[in-house]
Amino acid sequence: MTEFLNVEIRAGEPVTIGERTITPFAQSIQVTLPGLNGGFIWNRPVSVLVQSDDGQEEVLPITDVTRLAQVNLIGMSLGVIALIWLVSRIKRKK
């Protein structure tokens, strides 16, 4: 039986540019719908590993600005809904 939700981080193909090798990493979220032959997979980049010829390694995180914008938009929407609810309760009491 397949899991309903599977989250994992995978390395992509390393690419060598000059004296550096760059390896991308992506987070994969797989949702399988029970009883159906389907589901969806969502991939997003999370970081890049940069390796130089002298042995130095650096991990550069990738900020998902779309997700940040979505979270901020949802937060503001909930705040506006709470404010409207509060104002309507105050008006009812008067």
The number of CA neighbours under 13 Å toward the Cβ of 67 is 8
Residue boundaries of the structural domains of the chain = 1-62, 63-94
Hey, what are 88's tokens? 């309507």
Q: Are the C-beta atoms of 48 and 21 separated by less than 8 Å?
A: no
Report the distance separating Cα 23 and Cα 68, nearest Å.
Answer: 24
List pLDDT tens digits, range 25-37: 999 999 988 777 7
Instruction: List, in sequence order, every beta strand (DSSP E) within 4-94.
Output: 5-11, 15-17, 20-32, 39-52, 57-61
pTM of the model: 0.65
Amino acid type, 48:
V
**Mean of all residue pLDDT scores within the chain:** 90
